Each structure stands twice: as C-alpha cells, then as structure tokens.
Structure 1
Amino acid sequence: MSTLAELAAASQDLAEAIRGLSPDPGDAMRLLAPLAALQPSEATAGDVVGVAQAAGQAAAAALCRRAALASLARATAEASPPSYEAAVALRDQVCGLLAAEEVVAADAGEDATALALRDLRAAVAEDLTRRAADLARLRTVTVSEPLPALVHAYRLYEDIGRADEVSLQADAADPNFIGGTFRVLVA
C-alpha cells in the first residue's frame, strides 16, 4: 500500500468482507464490534519518532474503527432481532460505539466526520426503535421442576410447534429438562 487512499479502501474492504462473509447479520455484528472499538497500543518512545508513531497508529485505528462502524450499521439494518429487548440492546450497543467514535472525531477537530457519525447514529437509533415497536416482548418464567420444552410450549402458547423457540430462549443445554427461571417471548 503506497497511499492513504489505498489504506482507506483496504480498511473499508476488510470491514465489508467481514460483513459479507458472515452468514447471519448477528455474526457480522459480533465480529465487527471489536474492530469498531479498536484502540492502538501506546507508543513507548517520547521522542519525535515515538510521537509520530503514536499519531500514525491513532489515525490508522480511527480509519479501521470508522470502516467497521459503517459496516456495523449496514449489518444492523439487515438484522432481525427476535424480541423488543434484543432490538433495544442492539440499538444501545451500536449507538454507543457510534457515539464514542463521534466524541473521538470531535476531539480531533474532525467536525464533518463527527456530524456524519451523529447522523448515522440517529439513523440507526430511529430504525431499530421503529422496528422494536413491532416486536414481541420477553417475559420471565419460573418453574419449580425441569420439564421438556414441549410441555412448556403447550403451557405457555398452547402450541407444541414452539418447543424449539422455548428451548432457544431458555438457552437450554437439554430441551428435555428446562427448569428454573428463563425468559420467553410473550404470546
């Protein structure tokens, strides 16, 4: 890579490749979130070379974070959260990452970048808030003895076809023994 433009393009291509290769938007978000929070290591030397190295590392990290944030926002738009609570948690996570980078950009005097990040954060928040409103909420279920998912599905929904959903929501190691306290979608 010989130019900054090539480095920027490579960072964007990497983030989009991560998003594109992930079979599920949730997987893409899990992979992109650490990149969106990337922090460079501290330069050890306090001389001119160390200061220049730190500035270069900070700029490269900002470039990677911003490319990851753009891809993360795209993955968020493709995501299908299963519940209201999942959509709100996703919104808060992604908007938190965007807000943190917005502060970094503003502190660096990159006003146009800070404004673009603010606009992206507002769009992500609006999209997920709108979609969350139409999603079912979770409720907490407490049972005294472990029962099969089929029994829980019938008792909760009068539909044994939702046994896999109950097992997934309860994060059950064995769908034949689901007990204690777990959360399921409201019918």
Structure 2
Amino acid sequence: MATPYEFAKSIIDLPNILLEFSDDPKTQMDLIFPLCNYQVSIVPTSAPLGQSENNLIKATSAICRRAALTGLCKAIANWQADSWDEVLDVRAKVSKLFNNEILIATDDKNMQTVNALRTLRAKVLECLMNAAGSVPHLRTVTRTATLPALQLAQQLYADGNRASELIKRVKPVHPAFMPTEIEVLSS
C-alpha cells in the first residue's frame, strides 16, 4: 500500500508523463485539458466516517486538477500559436479553469493555494497575451468557385508555398477543391 506522500506524488507525476507523450505543445495541451476539469460527485452525509471520506475525495480531486493545471502551464510555455484567435480561445479556457479552481480553494478556505493560483494565473495569461501580439488574426475568405489550394495560396498570400498551410487549416476533401468559404490567416 502506498503512503500518502507516494500517492500524491504519483498524481502529480501524471501530467508530466502525459507531456512526454508528444513534443508538440498543442497535443500536450489537448491531453491535459480534460484532466483540469476532473470532478467527483460527493454523497452528502452526517456520519463522521462519511464526512472524512468526502474530504479525502475532494482533496484527491483537487490535487489532480492542480497538478493538471501545472502541466498545462508547462505546455503553454512552449506553445507557438497559429493565430491570434487561437490564443484568445486558449486564454479564455485557461482563465475559466483557473477561476474555477480558485473558487474551489476559496470554499475550502485554503488561502495559500488561492494566492498561488492567482499568481500562476496572472503569469500564464500574461504569457498568452504576449504570444497573441506576434501572430496574425483569422479572417473568412469567400470565393464564388472552388479553387486548388496552390492557386488560392498564390491569390491570398502571393506565395504558392503556403498551400500546405491552407490544406492543414481547412482539411478539404481534396486539395484541388478547396471550399468556397474558409478561414485563413490574415498575413
């Protein structure tokens, strides 16, 4: 049987193990985001043993979520966004996760954790806003007819080499038939 320290350490190590599955920070973020929302259901009870069990369950889920948040922060630190809109989307998700966790820690009257989470949230959101300043916005382009990706890249960017970027973003049925309405980078 594991000691409480070994149990907590194994929970804390899980996000780091997930980070090792991929070198791509976007993939790492996709793996860790669900862990940040980990919730448990507590059955209310007035029995002392049941209350202790509920406290243990709540504490374990808090460790899981907070460890996942730290892993998410590590992935974000290495992430290069494709567009300004993508940064804002991630920023909104991360802000919501931190706000929820801060509320949970506040309800538990754990002010040291609240202050640590607030500090970490501020740093991560600042990092994301710095990243947003250097990437282009998305814009919607509408054409009257389908065009090949190569021709569309040449028209939009005066660079046919960016056809692969369009194909990756749009995921058309075939690169020779790009949809008539697509979202592309502004520059």
TM bucket normalised to smaller: over 0.9
SS at match of 2:2: coil
Q: Residues 44 and 107 from structure 1, CA distance in 2 versus in 1: closer, same or farther, beyond 3 angstroms? A: closer
Tell me whether 1:134 sits opposite 2:120 in the alignment.
no
Deviations along 1:132-182, one digit per CA (max 9) or x if unpaired, are: 111111111011221111111011011110001111222323222112321
- What is the letter of the counterpart of residue 74 of structure 1? K
Mind listing any 5+ residue stretches in structure 2 that lack a counterpart? none
Greater mean deviation of Cα atoms: 134-143 or 49-58 = 49-58
Listed as ranges, the matches of 1:28-107 within 5 Å are 28-43=28-43, 47-107=47-107
**CA shift at 1:56, angstroms?**
1.3
Aligned length: 187
Distance of 1:106 and 1:20 partners within structure 2: 32
- Alignment match, 1:162: 162
Distance of 1:16 and 1:98 partners within structure 2: 19
- What is the letter of the counterpart of residue 31 of structure 1? L
More strand by share: 1
Distance of 1:82 and 1:13 partners within structure 2: 29
Contact 1:149 1:163 in 2 (8 A): yes
SS at match of 2:184: strand
Distance of 1:112 and 1:77 partners within structure 2: 24
SS at match of 1:21: coil
- Alignment match, 1:22: 22
Deviations along 1:17-68, one digit per CA (max 9) or x if unpaired, are: 1112223111111111111110013337664433322221111000000000
- What is the letter of the counterpart of residue 93 of structure 2? Q
Distance of 1:137 and 1:15 partners within structure 2: 31
CA RMSD, aligned part only?
1.6
SS at match of 1:146: coil
- Alignment match, 2:153: 153
Distance of 1:164 and 1:40 partners within structure 2: 43
Q: Identity percentage over the alignment?
A: 35
Distance of 1:96 and 1:174 partners within structure 2: 38
Greater mean deviation of Cα atoms: 19-28 or 155-164 = 19-28
